[in-house]
Amino acid sequence: MPSEPFRNYIDGAFCEGGAGSFESVDPATGEAWANMPAANAADVDRAVRAADRAFHDPSWSRLTATQRGKLLYRLADLVAENAQALAELETRDTGKIIRETSAQIAYVADYYRYYAGLADKIEGAHLPIDKPDMETYLRREPIGVVAAVVPWNSQLFLSAVKLGPALAAGCTVVLKASEDGPAPLLAFARLVDQAGFPPGVVNILTGFGDQCGSALASHPLVARIAFTGGPATARHIVRHSAENLAAVTLELGGKSPVVVFEDADLDSVANAVVAGIFAATGQSCVAGSRLIVQRGIKDALLERLVQKARAIRIGDPQAQETEMGPLATARQLRHIEDVIARSLAAGGRLVTGGGRPDGFPAGHYFEPTIIDCDATTIPSVEEELFGPVLSVLGFEEETEAVEFANRTPYGLASGVFTASLTRAHRMIRAIRAGVVWVNTYRAVSPIMPFGGYGLSGSGREGGLDAALDYTRTKAVWIRVSDDPIPDPFVMR
């Protein structure tokens, strides 16, 4: 990747931020390592207007769908070629371990390839209308300028599930990176530039919510908003969208349950639970943070989990041997410490972890933590921590497991572990969540839609339907009779 300073990318050019710059902190050291451009409302206006011009410009609007797909294939190839460099940047700026960022960003290329292939598969329809002298059909046309807003975690993946379908459909995009760890997306802008998209088709910037985010969500030229983040910010997004009446897709937080029945393979379950909560240091919207386990196997499963949690190698996120790195921000570290303190005061029993690990005087490190909870009202059970904290609840009967799983305002993901196929299907029907993994956890694919219920958001990303969401239909009526149209005021 080029070593140029980090800049916003607006209308095909790299530029400084109108609000100056801010320091980005390396979570492994707690020290600033780079300056990032801070966009203001004027920058946002310039980016949206550039996207609007590009949307109508023949250099983009008259491309065939196949030509758009070829640009996306080129972008996918560039992502694959630069995956390691992007991974190193993401690890440096967010603290996610290099093994995870490398694998995830390499897979991001497949998302762009999937939508590249879909570009010329977005079809209209012929309608068998009930009027014999009419021929009718539906056209699918791009919705317009898209405002895409992503958080710092998995930002290249979360951008791909927005940029991919939006560009395949023929839209133009203004993408706002989080002010926490924006380096990978600002570097990704150079790949967009190299891929050959016309100026203004993709604009990428970063800045703070009050000057940048609110201006983007409320801009009158924005037709659709695709947001990933927390419910509090989502409420602001929705309020601002009242200004432009933009369509809104929200992919928000989660408090995902993992339900384990006594007939499950405990070794397999232990591996899945550890991957679900301690991978990415628990900083994932689908983190399996609530373990709901049948009481007959609870102690045996806890014993396995404690062994695995204590064996996790915490360290430098750039080192290949590291299995868990730091939290992304000091703010998040303080939040987790507060929730754990309140949870223990409310009756939670600390099984392992619960503090900062020895040997890391600097950085935002926190131990893999397990809390045994005897009530669903304990704060760690109710609140999204976005960190490596697992809350464990015991149950006796299946109905109780369903009740515990659904006792949350969230509904993004869930897991069920059982050898019984009939029980698995009952649980799939009963759990209120947008994703149900059975005897596995955290599997993703560009082919599968993804989204939640309740406070976990609305709309879906991924799959064919996501591309259709970036279009609107146009109804076309063609009169095929050569007879004159009758005078409407002559009664017959």
Q: List residues with catalytic annotation.
A: 251
Q: List the beta bridge partners of residue 134.
A: 479
Q: Which residues of 116-148 are buried (b: 16+ CB within 10 A; e: fewer)?
A: bebbeebeeeeeeeeeeeeeeeeebebbbbbbb
Q: List the beta bridge partners of residue 172.
A: 145
Closest of 161, 70, 74 to residue 120, by C-alpha: 70
DSSP E strand stretches across 196-265:
202-206, 222-228, 247-251, 257-260
Backbone angles phi, psi at 158, to 5 degrees: -70, -25
**Whose structure tokens read 């992304």?**
328
For residue 403, give both structure tokens: 């009740």
Backbone angles phi, psi at 259, to 5 degrees: -100, 125
C-alpha torsion angle, residues 115, 108, 286, 239 (rounded to 10): -60
DSSP 68-123: HHHHHHHHHHHHHHTHHHHHHHHHHHH---HHHHHHHHHHHHHHHHHHHHHGGG--
Q: Are 321 and 315 in contact (CB under 8 A)?
A: yes
For residue 307, give both structure tokens: 């062994």
Kind plus residue range of the DSSP H or E element containing 187: helix 183-195
Kind plus residue range of the DSSP H or E element containing 463: helix 463-469
The 10 Å Cβ neighbour count of residue 163 is 27
The one-letter amino acid code at 284 reads S
Q: Are 363 and 29 in contact (CB under 8 A)?
A: yes
Closest of 145, 140, 77, 62 to residue 110, by C-alpha: 77
The 10 Å Cβ neighbour count of residue 233 is 18
Backbone angles phi, psi at 139, to 5 degrees: -100, 145
Strands 290-294 and 389-395, sheet pairing: parallel
Q: Is 158 left (phi over 0), alpha (psi -120 to 50) or beta?
A: alpha
Helices (H) and strands (E) in the chain, counts: 16, 20
- Residue ranges of the alpha helices (H) in 196-263? 214-218, 231-241
Q: List the beta bridge partners of residue 23.
A: 35
Could you give the CA distance from residue 120 to residue 139 in angstroms, rounded to a whole number?
A: 13
Could you give the CA distance from residue 326 to residue 317 in angstroms, rounded to a whole number?
A: 8
